[in-house]
Amino acid sequence: IQAFDAMLRVNLNGPFYLSHYAIPHMPRGCSSIIHVSSTRALQSEADTVGYTASKAGLSMCLSSQAITYAGHARVNAILPGWINTSDEHEHEVAIREVDKQWHPVGRVGEPVDVAQLCLFLCDESKSGFITGQQFVVDGGTTVKMVYPS
């Protein structure tokens, strides 16, 4: 129960409070709030109920915020899948060929994949008509049909 509550506090309450208290200080009409969620908002596995519930809750939070903050800020979310955040040495050891092949694009994600989308979503001239959306950055794994082997 404590782990579940902790997940909600960090992954749902944290982004909610941060955006709630930041919005009055943001320029009206050209601001962008980007929640970083996870593909776990869309799919789950055993023993991840707190994490998946918190990320799914953040999805609905952003939907409501997109309407609530309309005219003040656009609100979107990025849902990364497997993003390699290890250093170079660990990277070579940790990511196997089978891990790359699991992704339809043939590789594991890199932080720059998420960063480029953040830059796009923050650019009013490029994404000014986008709000209330979730962007999956996972190399195609969430759309892949999986059968037991």
Give tens-digit pLDDT for 93-111: 567 888 888 899 999 999 9
37 phi and psi angles, rounded to 5 deg: -110, -130
| In a domain? residue 113 | yes
Looking at the structure of the chain, the number of domains it has is 1
| In a domain? residue 47 | yes
| In a domain? residue 148 | no
| In a domain? residue 147 | no
CA distance 76 to 58: 10
CATH of the domain at 105: 3.40.50.720
pTM check: above 0.95: no
| In a domain? residue 146 | no
Q: Which domain holds residue 15?
A: 2-141
Report the relative pairing of strands 31-36 and 73-80 from DSSP bridges. parallel
| In a domain? residue 66 | yes
| In a domain? residue 46 | yes
| In a domain? residue 48 | yes
**pLDDT tens per residue, range 30-83:** 999 999 999 999 998 899 999 999 999 999 999 999 999 999 999 999 999 999
Catalytic residue IDs: 51
